[in-house]
Chains A and B, each alone.
Chain A
C-alpha cells in the first residue's frame, strides 16, 4: 500500500481576481516522482508553490481548501519548518552570490549548524548526491557563478538536499539547460526518489515520460487527469491530454 505524503482537498488559488487553481484534489505518494505537465498558465507552478507556501510571498494571493502533508494542514505549520521539510529547486539555476561551499551550507547554517567537520561532511554528502562533488571538490571556495549552468543547477539541488527535506519540488529544473546537463539532472532525480518524494513540474513532455512514476495534466487551472505515466502517455482518458502530449496545443 502506497503512503500518501501530500494531498490537496478542493484547493482553490487566486492572485487578485484571477483564479490560478480550481478545485484541485491531488495526492503525491511517498518516494515517487509525480510529473506535472500542462501549457503555460495552467497552474502547475502555483500548485508547486502552494506545497511549500511560497505563494504566501505574493501580496495578492488568496486560497481556499486544504493542503496537507502527512495528514497535517500546512497552513498550520511553522512556515520555516515546512520549507525545511519541503525543498525547492527553481526553474533557472539560482546560486546565491556566495562560494560553492557556502551555497550548499547556507540552509544548514540558517538552521543553526556552526562550522566544523560536521558541516563539511554535510556539504560533501549533498554535492555527491547531486553528482557534482567530483567536478568541484578542489574549488569549493570559488564563487558559485564560475560554474556552468548545468553545474549551477546541480549545486542548487545539493543546496536543497543539505537541509535534509522530505519532499523536493522541482520547478522546470532543466528549462535553461543543454541536453547533457538535463540528463545529469534527471539521473539525479531518479536516484533521489529512493529517499525523497519528488514533484516535478516540467514543460518538457518527454522529460515527464522519462522520469515520472505518475503524471498529472493541468489545463486552464484545472487538473484534467492523473495516472501512471505509461497510461497517460499511451491511453489517456481525456482527449485533451492526448492532444497536449502529441503537441496539438499548448
Chain B
C-alpha cells in the first residue's frame, strides 16, 4: 500500500519535471534575448539603414522586407488555401482523389523548409525567371504555409455544426448560399487564427528565402516585387556568422525584433480565438 503511494508520488514528480523542462528553454530564450537585445533597441535601430558593413546603424530594410514577404505570402496562400479547404470539407466526396489530395497536404506540411527554398529557386527564380525577388520569396513562403492554412480552415469549417447546414438547406437555400451565409461567417475566427499562425511561421523561416529573395546587404528599400530584399531571419544569420566583429548588442537586438514580431502575431491569434470562444453561442 505504502509502496504504491510512493510510486505514484515518483510518477507524479517525473511528469511534473518533464512539463517544467518545457517551460525552462522558452523562458531562457526570451530572457536572454531581451536582456542582451534590449539595449540595442531604439528608434534609430528600428528606422535606420544598416551602416559600416552592418556593424552599425539599423535594421529598417530587414523589417520592411519581412513585412513585404509575409504580406505577399498571405496574398497567395489565403485565397488558395481557403478555397481548397471549402472544396475539401464541403464538396469533395470521399474517394481516391480526395484521399490523395489530403495525403499531399499532410506531406506538404512535413517537407523541410530548405527543400521549399530549393524548390522556389528552381521554379520561381529560374524557371519562371522571376529572379531572386520578393515575388519568388513570397510564393515560396506561400506554398510553405498552405498546409497550415488549409488544415486550420478545414477544422474551422468542420466545427460549424452540421445541423446549421441542414436548417439552411431545408429552407430552400442552395449549397453555396448555405456556405456563404452560414458556414463561412461562423468559421472565420478559426480561419483567421490559422492564417496568423501561418504568418508567424513565414516571418521566422530562413531557408525558404535563402535562395529566392534574401539580400546579403542592401541598404535601401525594395522598389518593386521584382527586387531583392533583406529579411530579418536571414539578416540575423548573416550578422551572426558571415560578418566578423558585429557587436553582440546588434545581433541580439535583431533577434529580439524578430521574436517580438512572431510572438505578437501569435498573441493576436490567441486573442481572436479567446474572443470567439467567449461569444460562441452553441
How many Å from the CB of B66 to the closest CB on chain A? 37
Please name all residues of chain B whose beta carbon is closer than 8 Å to the beta carbon of A156 when the two chains form the complex: 167
A159 touches B93 (CB 8 A): no
The answer to whether residues A87 and B282 also contact, given A59-B93, A96-B182, A110-B177 and a CB cut-off of 8 A, is no
Complex contact B282–A97 (CB within 8 A): yes
User: Chain B residues near A106 (CB, 8 Å)?
Assistant: 168, 171, 173, 181
Given A80-B174, A90-B163, does the pair A96, B168 have CB atoms closer than 8 Å?
A: yes
Q: Chain B residues near A145 (CB, 8 Å)? A: 281-282
Q: Which of B94, B164, B166, B171 contacts A107 (CB 8 A)?
A: B171
Are A80 and B164 in touch, CB under 8 angstroms? no
Smallest CB separation, B164 vs chain A (Å): 6
Contact A160 B163 (CB under 8 A): no
- Closest B-chain residue to A54, C-beta based? B170
Q: Is A35 an interface residue (CB 8 A)?
A: no
B167 & A57 in contact (Cβ 8 Å cutoff): no
Interface readout for B95-134 with A: 1 if CB under 8 Å, 0 if not? 0000000000000000000000000000000000000000
Complex alpha-carbon distance, A96 and B178, angstroms: 11
How far is it, in angstroms, between the C-alpha of A57 and the C-alpha of B174 when the chains are bound?
12
B residues 186-206 with Cβ under 8 Å of A?
Answer: 186
Residues on the B chain within 8 Å of A87, using CB: 170-171
Task: Tell me, yes or no, whether B169 is within 8 Å of chain A by CB.
Answer: yes
- In angstroms, Cα B172 to Cα A163, docked, is 9
In the complex, A97 Cα to B276 Cα: how many Å?
Answer: 13
**CB within 8 Å of B: which of A73-122?**
80-81, 83-84, 87-88, 90, 92, 94, 96-97, 106-107, 110-111
User: Is the Cβ of B186 less than 8 Å from the Cβ of A97?
Assistant: yes
Q: Is A57 touching B166 in the complex (CB atoms < 8 A)? A: yes
Q: Indicate whether A160 sits within 8 Å of B282 (C-beta atoms), given known contacts A97-B186, A110-B181.
A: no
Least CB distance from B180 to A in Å reads: 10
Contact A110 B166 (CB under 8 A): no
Partner of A90, one of B94, B166, B174: B166
B residues 129-188 with Cβ under 8 Å of A?
A: 163-164, 166-174, 177, 181-182, 186
Are A143 and B172 in touch, CB under 8 angstroms?
no
Q: Which residue of B lies closest to A144 (CB)?
A: B281
* Residues from chain B with Cβ under 8 Å of A84 in the complex: 171-172
Indicate whether A229 reaches chain B with its CB closer than 8 angstroms.
Answer: no
- Chain A's closest residue to B167 (CB) is A94
Supply 10 A–B pairs (Cβ within 8 Å), ascending by A. A94-B166, A96-B182, A97-B164, A106-B168, A106-B181, A107-B172, A110-B173, A110-B177, A110-B181, A111-B172
Closest 3 pairs between A and B when the two form their complex, measured CB to CB = A107-B171, A84-B172, A110-B173
Known contacts A80-B174, A111-B172; 10 additional CB pairs below 8 A are A80-B172, A90-B170, A92-B163, A97-B282, A106-B171, A107-B171, A107-B172, A110-B171, A110-B173, A156-B167
